[in-house]
Structure 1
Amino acid sequence: MSRKRLCMVGAGRVGRLHTRNLIERAGRRAEVAAIVDPSLDTAGKLAADYAVGAVYATLEEALAHGPYDGAVITTPTFTHRALAVAALDAGLHVHLEKPMAMNLDECAGITAALRRSDRILQLGFMRRFDRDFIEAAELLRGGTIGAPMIIKSLTHGPGLPPAWANDIRTSNGMLAEVNSHDLDTVNWFAGAEPVDIHVRVANFKGRERGVTTEHFYDTLLATVTFESGAIASIAGVCPADYGYDARVEVTCTGGMIQVGGTGPGGLASIVSGTSRRGEAVFGSWRDRFADAYTREMVEFLAAMDGEPVRVGAAEGTRAVALVLAGTMSMLERRTVALSELRAPGLTLSWQSGAAAA
Structure 2
Amino acid sequence: MSKKVRICMIGAGRVGKLHSGTLKRYVPDGEVVALVDPAEAVLNETGEQFGIDGRFPSLEDALEKAEFDAVIITTPTFTHKQLAMLAAAEGKHVFMEKPMAMNLQECDDIIAAVEGRGLLLQLGFMRRFDPEFVAAAERIFAGEIGEPTLIKSLTHGPGLPPAWANDIRTSNGMLAEVNSHDLDCIRWLMGSNPERIYVEAANFKGEERGAHAEHFYDNMFATLKFESGALGNISGVCPCDYGYDARVEIIGKKGIMQIGSMQGMDVIVCTNRDQGLITPIYKRWPERFAWAYIHEIQHFVECVQTGNKPRVTGEDGRWAVAGVLAGTKSMLEGRPVRLEEVMDPAWPVPWQQ
Q: Deviations over 1:192-211 (max 9, x none)?
A: 12111000000010001111
What is the rounded CA distance, in whole Å, between the counterparts of 1:344 and 1:105 in structure 2?
A: 5
Percent of aligned positions that are identical: 51
Aligned residue type for 1:5: R
Q: Secondary structure at the match of 1:305?
A: helix
What residue is the counterpart of 2:24 in the other structure?
23
What residue is the counterpart of 1:7 in the other structure?
8
Asked if 2 retains the 8 angstrom alpha-carbon contact of 1:199 and 1:220, the reply is yes
Asked if 1 retains the 8 angstrom alpha-carbon contact of 2:5 and 2:305, the reply is no
What is the rounded CA distance, in whole Å, between the counterparts of 2:146 and 2:184 in structure 1?
A: 21
TM-score, normalization by structure 1? 0.93
What residue is the counterpart of 1:338 in the other structure?
339
Q: Secondary structure at the match of 2:100?
A: coil
Q: Deviations over 1:269-290 (max 9, x none)?
A: xxxxxxx974201000010001
- What number of residue pairs does the alignment pair up? 342
Q: Which runs of 5+ in 2 are unaligned?
A: 267-275
Q: Which runs of 5+ in 1 are unaligned?
A: 267-275, 353-357
Q: Deviations over 1:235-267 (max 9, x none)?
A: 00000000000000000001111001123348x
Q: Secondary structure at the match of 1:233?
A: strand
CA drift of 1:347 comes to 1.5
CA drift of 1:344 comes to 8.9
Q: More deviation in 342-351 or 54-63?
A: 342-351
CA drift of 1:342 comes to 4.0
What is the rounded CA distance, in whole Å, between the counterparts of 1:343 and 1:86 in structure 2?
A: 24
CA drift of 1:30 comes to 1.6
Aligned residue type for 2:101: A
Q: Secondary structure at the match of 1:225?
A: strand
Q: More deviation in 35-44 or 339-348?
A: 339-348
What residue is the counterpart of 1:176 in the other structure?
176
What is the rounded CA distance, in whole Å, between the counterparts of 1:342 and 1:154 in structure 2?
A: 25
State how 1:227-246 maps to structure 2 within 5 Å: 227-246=227-246
CA drift of 1:34 comes to 0.9
What residue is the counterpart of 1:85 in the other structure?
85
What residue is the counterpart of 1:302 in the other structure?
302
What is the rounded CA distance, in whole Å, between the counterparts of 2:148 and 2:74 in structure 1?
A: 33
Asked if 2 retains the 8 angstrom alpha-carbon contact of 1:40 and 1:55, the reply is no
Q: Secondary structure at the match of 2:310?
A: coil
State how 1:187-266 maps to structure 2 within 5 Å: 187-265=187-265
1:38 counterpart = 2:38: yes
Asked if 1 retains the 8 angstrom alpha-carbon contact of 2:198 and 2:222, the reply is yes
Aligned residue type for 1:8: M
Aligned residue type for 1:260: G
CA drift of 1:346 comes to 3.1
Q: More deviation in 277-286 or 165-174?
A: 277-286
What residue is the counterpart of 1:96 in the other structure?
96
Asked if 1 retains the 8 angstrom alpha-carbon contact of 2:322 and 2:343, the reply is no
Aligned residue type for 1:281: I
Go from structure 1 to structure 2 and tell me whether the alpha carbon gap of 1:344 and 1:160 turns closer, same or farther (over 3 Å shift): closer
What is the rounded CA distance, in whole Å, between the counterparts of 1:205 and 1:178 in structure 2?
A: 16
What residue is the counterpart of 1:318 in the other structure?
319
CA drift of 1:345 comes to 5.8
Asked if 2 retains the 8 angstrom alpha-carbon contact of 1:198 and 1:222, the reply is yes
Q: What's the Cα RMSD here? A: 1.4
CA drift of 1:42 comes to 0.7
User: Following superposition, which runs of at least 4 residues in structure 1 exceed 6 angstroms of deviation?
Assistant: none
Go from structure 1 to structure 2 and tell me whether the alpha carbon gap of 1:132 and 1:277 turns closer, same or farther (over 3 Å shift): farther
Q: Secondary structure at the match of 2:352?
A: coil
CA drift of 1:8 comes to 0.3
What is the rounded CA distance, in whole Å, between the counterparts of 2:311 and 2:88 in structure 1?
A: 18
What is the rounded CA distance, in whole Å, between the counterparts of 1:146 and 1:279 in structure 2?
A: 33
